[in-house]
Chains A and B, each alone.
Chain A
């Protein structure tokens, strides 16, 4: 049933929004909804096959959902134009720095963890 899958996902979005509002909007409803759905699946409150079809459609097409907001660049063009090179430069370097440091850190920690647990044996 597609509709029950849609309903469950929207319901968790609503729940996420409620929790987000109660906690002063520190974290957006969609992210809280994701964590609530995750824990509900872990604790068997929701059966994964109920939502799989809808959830996989949504996560598989996320790129498309970013398109309308991307056109916001046309509105912001006046502000960005004068500092375009700097704006792109900062975003480019910073994004790749985050990518490299977090990825290498993760690889390194996992290797170190393996060595540590290897020694215990």
Chain B
């Protein structure tokens, strides 16, 4: 019995099956706020608990899926190329908006953590939350934060942007496809970009570019900000 569960195929099937279940429930319920993750993560967690499988074993067995995140970021280069004209035309305003976004991201975490009474470890681990996981982990390590806490925060952040992004975009009358894609990429990295691709091709392309720019600018903004506001 043990060996039928604690192996790579079972763990891969668990990941894909739970995700498909999440997609199916979302479709059947018709609730746009019901992200597949809300079903899929608890289901996986429950199965791991029930079968006595450690999280480390699960993550190790799913290396194959986890690995594809890197190549999928590389592939965003094609999306950007497909919308070369749009990007070229708006490059200056895109740079300015992403820089604004990265300062707001770092600054708001700093002050909100104080407001919510979170200790310094959280500030150090959350300042880079709006950027893609590998950059966020590097920035967090340089701040002396908890790298795994940073990784989980990055995903929560992506999840929030994906679920509430479209609603907020409508509420605040963010109108152009460029601005919609940029907002999702800046706030929620790859997960936001997957939402942006659903909204439209231009949204997806600008969002992909925003991931790269946001990562680069946040890597610069974090040390600058902490020089003025030390943790």
- Report which of A76, A80, A106 forms a contact with B179, defined as CB distance below 8 A: A106
| Contact status A58-B152, CB under 8 Å | no
| Contact status A41-B71, CB under 8 Å | no
Q: Which residues of chain B are within 8 angstroms of A106 by Cβ–Cβ distance?
A: 90, 93-94, 97, 174, 176, 178-179, 182-183
Assign chain A's interface to a size class: 35 or more
Q: Complex Cα distance A31/B56, Å?
A: 26
As a 0/1 sequence over residues 82 to 94 of chain A, the CB contacts with chain B under 8 angstroms (1 = contact) are 0101111111111
Q: Complex Cα distance A113/B216, Å?
A: 25
Asked if B70 is an interface residue, CB under 8 A from chain A, the answer is: yes
Q: Complex Cα distance A1/B16, Å?
A: 26
| Contact status B59-A72, CB under 8 Å | yes
Q: Complex Cα distance A91/B125, Å?
A: 11
- Report which of A10, A80, A101, A103 forms a contact with B152, defined as CB distance below 8 A: A80
Q: A65-B65, A99-B184, A101-B104 are in contact. Are A90 and B59 (CB under 8 A)?
A: no
| Contact status B179-A68, CB under 8 Å | no
As a 0/1 sequence over residues 18 to 51 of chain A, the CB contacts with chain B under 8 angstroms (1 = contact) are 0000000111111101111110111000001001
Q: Complex Cα distance A49/B220, Å?
A: 36
Q: Complex Cα distance A118/B46, Å?
A: 59
- Report which of A26, A56, A80 forms a contact with B149, defined as CB distance below 8 A: A80
Q: Chain B residues in contact with chain A, CB under 8 A?
A: 15-16, 18-19, 36-37, 40-41, 44-45, 48, 55-56, 58-59, 62-63, 65-66, 68-82, 84, 90, 92-94, 96-98, 100-101, 104-105, 108-109, 112-113, 116-119, 122, 126, 129-130, 132-135, 138, 146, 148-149, 151-153, 155-158, 160-162, 164-165, 168-169, 172, 174-176, 178-180, 182-184, 186-188, 190-191, 193-194, 197, 204, 208, 210-212, 215-216, 219
